[in-house]
């Protein structure tokens, strides 16, 4: 782009733009609660504040106390039964109580904040979620002091299933990172962590009976460089890569998640996406002498499990160990992208199809899944499968994850199967690009800006209200072909996961993208930065991609992250911290026949930098 630089007149407007209060009518909470009533005034947390509870061993109570300790407040918990409950002794207290009636809305809570005291009522998960809300509201002051805005909150989730996925096969993420990931899910009231543990490029969970799964299957010789469809199709990094979780580590993570009301769904992929397992135990494939090796590139492999009795025995042994490790009622068995080439070539498979009077390989896939389902049902587990498991007939009790558009979800709900909506088209594939800027890091393609995620409605309009009850929730997926570091995983996750949280939790009536992105997100991104998360810094509020025509412009911007600075240029140079930064509304006059490229970069207090945003201000009349 060649926009000439020329003399132009910038007048800095002196009237400052009305700054919104940091805590607005909705108090800045994500996901937006069912109802919020802001009142005047604030509660002051001081070193003298009493923290009281009628259920001192509740997970939510313990979590709050740990938070206070870590944040340096140093309060101790008092059992409310041990004090007299006169108004005077309850002054300057925070009470966490299980005195709460769910009234058909499980996992809800209510909060009352007055200048005198704070009361949070909720049971189990509900109490924990109330604590998350309190933590978002708490505004630290000088050491040992903080404030909470007065008001009333009533809240409960829209969906019982609020999920976030992570692929640890394509790239491995260590225990510390998995815990940090669970932390942020819990902070935004998500309650399912879908852990994609096995795939072509790595088997990541220790299975005692089959040690080669990790000894061989967790390692690949090298990794594809750049996009799989890029110009360097045959470029690999020539660097061995590996990693797996021991069963002890898994137990530790499961317990950690339980403390935060996060259920972990393990995914053991079958019958496709299993090259790492075939490399470890070639007799599980239809061509044991083929020389299977752990995947080094991306895409869909044609090497899949062979449905022999031996394969089923091994898979059942594996699942037995998995079930023992994960208390969650769901086990995800994959089921996606299983090419039928190997089964078509295999005499064994063709005989099996004939013997079992199956029509084709699709039915063989259904046979495969149904056999595994039967085993897992016997162990009191419900299977989840990607929507391909509908092809050839769905297993009797399966829950479907609809990822290829909403059609699979619609079909499954109409068959009275539970459904979790997670289509890429809904902005729920967080491996897709977050903007169209060339500065976005390498990604798989697609386009899923935060607004797209935010504006999706998980319930397909084609469903009747009865069928819609089968839509138990919504999930976003983070596939990691192009995500090799924790920093990048966080960049791709955030802020989109906060939009997901609101889709999953908030009633449609409480949703408002403008309020979310302009008021609540800036505050929450500031909190996330303080907690040490990376994220994509959104564009300045008030800029869009459009070209603006005219000669006189008044540019009003708001920072997308509390405390961040928006630096700008009008001279065609790329903006940086060395450039002017936005303080008040700008008035820019462009001479006739000219145009300028108004460019911004946003830099947060922690030093995170946004992509450069452009807005063409054009008075050329063309």
Binding site for ligand TNX (CB under 6 A): 336-337, 386, 403, 429, 431, 444, 479, 481
CB of 136 vs ligand TNX, minimal distance in Å = 31
Q: Are 564 and 602 in contact (CB under 8 A)?
A: yes
Q: Are 373 and 308 a contacting pair, CB within 8 Å?
A: no
Strands 50-53 and 93-97: parallel
- Radius of gyration from C-alpha coordinates of the chain: 27
Nearest in space to 170 (alpha carbons), one of 444, 402, 425, 440 = 444
Q: How far is the CB of 258 from ligand TNX (least distance, A)?
A: 26
- Candidate list 199, 502, 539, 579, residue with the active-site label: 199
**Helix, strand, coil % in the chain, rounded to nearest 5:** 30, 25, 45
CA distances from 511 to 414, 442, 516 (A): 28, 31, 8
Q: Can 199 be counted among the known catalytic residues?
A: yes
Beta bridge partners of 205: 245
Catalytic residue list contains 273? yes
**613: Cβ contacts below 8 Å, ≥ 6 apart:** 437, 539, 540, 543, 599, 600, 601
| Distance spanning both ends of the chain, measured CA to CA | 15
Query: Is 416 buried (19+), middle (13-18) or exposed (0-12) by CB count in 10 A?
Result: exposed
Report the nearest approach of ligand TNX to the CB of residue 430 (Å).
Answer: 9
User: How far apart are alpha carbons 156 and 121 in whole angstroms?
Assistant: 12
Q: Is the distance from CB of 160 to CB of 472 less than 8 angstroms? A: yes
**From the candidates 102, 259, 317, 337, which is the catalytic residue?**
337
Note whether 440 and 434 are within 8 A (CB): yes
Q: How many CB atoms lie within 10 A of CB 473?
A: 23
Between CA 50 and CA 65 the distance in angstroms is 12
Q: Which residue lies nearer to ligand TNX by CB, 444 or 570?
A: 444
What is the C-alpha to C-alpha distance for residues 149 and 133, in angstroms, rounded to an integer?
A: 12
Query: Quick check: bond before 495 cis, omega within 30?
Result: yes
| Of 125, 117, 129, 155, the residue nearest 35 (C-alpha) | 155
Strand partners, 245: 205
Q: How far is CA 611 from the centre of its chain?
A: 21
Identity of the residue, 384 or 566, whose beta carbon is nearer to ligand TNX in the bound complex:
384
In 326-449, which residue ranges form alpha helices assigned H by DSSP? 341-345, 347-355, 361-378, 407-414
Catalytic residue flag (residue 337): yes
Nearest to 371 by CA among 330, 314, 415: 314
Kindly compute the dihedral angle of the four CA atoms of residues 541, 545, 551, 555, in this order, to the nearest 10 degrees: 10
Task: Write the CB contacts of 222 (distance below 8 Å, at least 6 apart in sequence).
Answer: 236, 237, 238, 239, 240, 241, 296
Nearest CA to 460 out of 496, 420, 431 is that of 420
Distance CA 135, CA 128 (A): 11
Can you spell out the DSSP letters for 416-449?
T--EEE--GGGT-BTTSBSSS-TTS-S----B--
The residues carrying an active-site annotation are 199, 273, 337
């Amino acid at each position: 782009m060649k926009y000439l630089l020329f003399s132009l007149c910038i007048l800095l407007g002196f009237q400052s733009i009305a700054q919104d209060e940091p805590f607005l009518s909705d108090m800045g909470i994500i996901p937006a609660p069912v109802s919020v009533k802001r009142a005047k005034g604030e509660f002051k947390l001081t070193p003298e504040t009493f923290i009281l509870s009628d259920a001192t061993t509740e997970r939510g109570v313990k979590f709050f106390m740990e938070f206070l300790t870590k944040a340096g407040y140093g309060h101790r918990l008092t059992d409310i039964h041990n004090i007299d409950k006169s108004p005077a002794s309850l002054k300057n207290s925070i009470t966490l109580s299980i005195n709460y009636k769910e009234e058909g809305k499980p996992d809800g809570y209510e909060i009352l904040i007055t200048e005198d005291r704070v009361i949070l009522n909720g049971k189990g998960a509900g109490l924990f979620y109330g604590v998350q809300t309190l933590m978002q509201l708490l505004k630290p002051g000088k050491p040992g002091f903080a404030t909470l805005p007065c008001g009333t909150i009533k809240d409960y989730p829209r969906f019982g299933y609020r999920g976030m996925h992570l692929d640890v096969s394509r790239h491995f993420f260590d225990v510390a990172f998995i815990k940090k990931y669970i932390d942020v899910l819990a902070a935004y009231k998500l309650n399912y962590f879908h852990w994609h543990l096995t795939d072509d490029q790595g088997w990541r969970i220790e299975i005692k009976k089959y040690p080669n799964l990790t000894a061989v299957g967790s390692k690949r010789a090298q990794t594809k460089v750049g996009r799989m469809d890029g110009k360097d199709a045959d470029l690999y990094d020539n660097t061995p890569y590996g990693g797996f979780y021991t069963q002890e580590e898994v137990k530790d993570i499961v317990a950690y998640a339980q403390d935060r009301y996060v259920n972990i769904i393990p995914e053991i992929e079958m019958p496709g996406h299993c090259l790492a397992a075939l490399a470890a135990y070639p007799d599980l494939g239809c061509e044991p002498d083929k020389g299977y090796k752990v995947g080094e590139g991306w895409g869909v492999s044609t090497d899949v499990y062979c449905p022999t009795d031996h394969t089923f025995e091994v898979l059942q042994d594996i699942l037995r160990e998995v079930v023992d490790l994960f208390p969650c009622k769901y086990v995800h068995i994959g089921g996606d992208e299983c090419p039928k080439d190997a089964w078509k070539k295999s005499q064994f498979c063709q005989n099996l199809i004939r013997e079992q009077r199956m029509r084709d390989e699709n039915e063989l896939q259904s046979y495969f899944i149904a056999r595994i389902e039967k085993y897992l049902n016997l162990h009191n587990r419900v299977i989840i499968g990607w929507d391909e498991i509908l092809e050839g007939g769905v297993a009797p009790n399966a829950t479907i994850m609809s990822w290829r558009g909403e059609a699979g979800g619609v079909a499954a709900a109409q068959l009275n199967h539970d459904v979790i909506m997670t289509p890429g088209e809904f902005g729920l594939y967080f491996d897709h690009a977050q903007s169209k800027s060339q500065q976005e890091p390498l990604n798989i393609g697609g386009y899923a800006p935060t607004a797209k995620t935010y504006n999706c409605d998980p319930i397909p309009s084609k469903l009747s209200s009865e069928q819609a009850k089968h839509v138990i929730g919504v999930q976003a997926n983070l596939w990691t072909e192009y995500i090799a570091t924790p920093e990048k995983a966080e960049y791709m996750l955030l802020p989109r996961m906060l939009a997901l949280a609101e889709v999953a939790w908030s009633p449609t009536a409480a949703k408002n993208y403008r309020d979310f992105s302009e008021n609540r997100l800036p505050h929450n991104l500031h909190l996330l930065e303080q907690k040490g998360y990376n994220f994509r810094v959104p564009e300045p509020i008030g800029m869009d991609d459009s070209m603006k025509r005219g000669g006189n412009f008044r540019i009003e911007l708001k920072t997308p992250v509390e405390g961040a600075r928006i630096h700008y240029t009008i001279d065609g140079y790329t903006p940086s911290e060395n450039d002017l930064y936005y303080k008040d509304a700008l008035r820019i006059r462009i001479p006739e026949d000219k145009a300028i490229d108004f460019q911004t970069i946003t830099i947060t207090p922690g030093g995170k930098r946004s992509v450069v945003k452009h807005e063409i201000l054009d008075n050329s009349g063309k």
